């Protein structure tokens, strides 16, 4: 009984302290799909996953969402609104989140997600979408003239995936569907 009297005030103090901490918002997961639970699909003309998250916020029925990157320029990006929160499955096709989640692009050393370094190109070529940004980065690393690179997903700079090798390091600009990096 005596132990309960001593422990009680500490428990109350901890609860008040924890309640005063700012809540961290849930973040969307890049490279994940949430298959199932779809009740609507909307084209995303901007090609930006943040617009899909916003569409979910504005629809009361929406509990989660999946943004699907375009497979080519004809298909376009699509936002799938969901009435439930299906389990996530790893897939590079998509960005998924739950209602209230913002979009956070992955931060990996040497990789700048949703960034275009426009200009300074001396060479560009098509890639297999399956090879992805790793093949573009490898091409730049292997070329002594290359200082930076930008990879465009299929449907963002043409029907196929594109790799742009750059002789100059240009300032980064936010642009959905693009991934960049600096190597030298």
Domains of the chain: 29-98 (3.50.4.10), 108-182 (3.50.4.10)
Cα distance between the two ends of the chain: 68
The answer to whether residues 148 and 120 touch, using CB atoms and an 8 Å cutoff, is: yes
> Does residue 109 carry a pLDDT above 70?
no
Mean pLDDT of 131-160: 92
Contact between 149 and 170 (Cβ < 8 Å):
no
Residue 158's pLDDT is: 87
Mean pLDDT value of segment 117-142: 92
Query: Mean pLDDT across the chain, nearest whole number?
Result: 83
Predicted confidence at residue 106, as pLDDT, reads 58
Task: Look up residue 143 and give its two tokens.
Answer: 């070329």
Instruction: Output the six-digit token pair for 155.
Output: 């449907």
- At residue 14 the predicted structure's pLDDT band, cuts being 50, 70 and 90, is very low
- Residues facing 162 on adjacent strands: 126, 152
**Residue range 130-144: mean pLDDT, rounded:** 92
Q: How far is CA 28 from the centre of its chain?
A: 7
Give percent of the chain with pLDDT exceeding 70: 79
Please name the helix (run of DSSP H) or strand (run of DSSP E) that holds residue 150, with its range, or none. Answer: strand 148-152
Q: How confident is the model at residue 79 (pLDDT cuts 50, 70, 90)?
A: very high
Tell me which of 20 and 2 has the higher pLDDT: 2
Question: Given a cut of 60, is residue 8 above it in pLDDT?
Answer: no
Q: At 18, is the pLDDT very low, low, confident or very high (cuts 50, 70, 90)?
A: very low
- Burial degree of 57 (CB within 10 A; 0-12, 13-18, 19+): middle
For residue 103, report the phi and psi dihedrals to the nearest 5 degrees.
-105, 120
Determine the pLDDT at residue 131. 84
Segment among 26-30, 56-60, 87-91 with least mean pLDDT: 26-30
**What's 111's DSSP letter?**
E
d(CA 179, CA 163): 10
- DSSP-assigned beta bridge partners for residue 100: none
């Amino acid at each position: 009984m005596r132990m309960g009297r001593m422990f009680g005030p500490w428990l109350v103090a901890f609860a008040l302290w924890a309640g005063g901490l700012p809540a961290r918002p849930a973040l969307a997961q890049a490279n994940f799909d949430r298959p199932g639970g779809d009740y609507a699909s909307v084209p995303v003309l901007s090609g930006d996953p943040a617009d899909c998250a916003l569409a979910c916020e504005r629809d009361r029925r929406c509990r989660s969402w999946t943004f699907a990157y375009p497979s080519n320029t004809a298909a376009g990006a699509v936002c799938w609104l969901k009435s439930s929160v299906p389990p996530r499955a790893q897939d590079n096709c998509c960005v998924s989140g739950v209602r209230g989640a913002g979009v956070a692009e992955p931060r990996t050393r040497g990789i700048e997600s949703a960034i275009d370094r426009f200009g300074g190109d001396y060479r560009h070529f098509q890639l297999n979408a399956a090879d992805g940004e790793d093949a573009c980065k490898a091409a730049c690393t292997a070329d002594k003239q290359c200082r930076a690179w930008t990879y465009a997903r299929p449907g963002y700079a043409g029907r196929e995936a594109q790799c742009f090798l750059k002789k100059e390091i240009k300032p980064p600009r936010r642009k959905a569907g693009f991934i960049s990096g600096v190597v030298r």
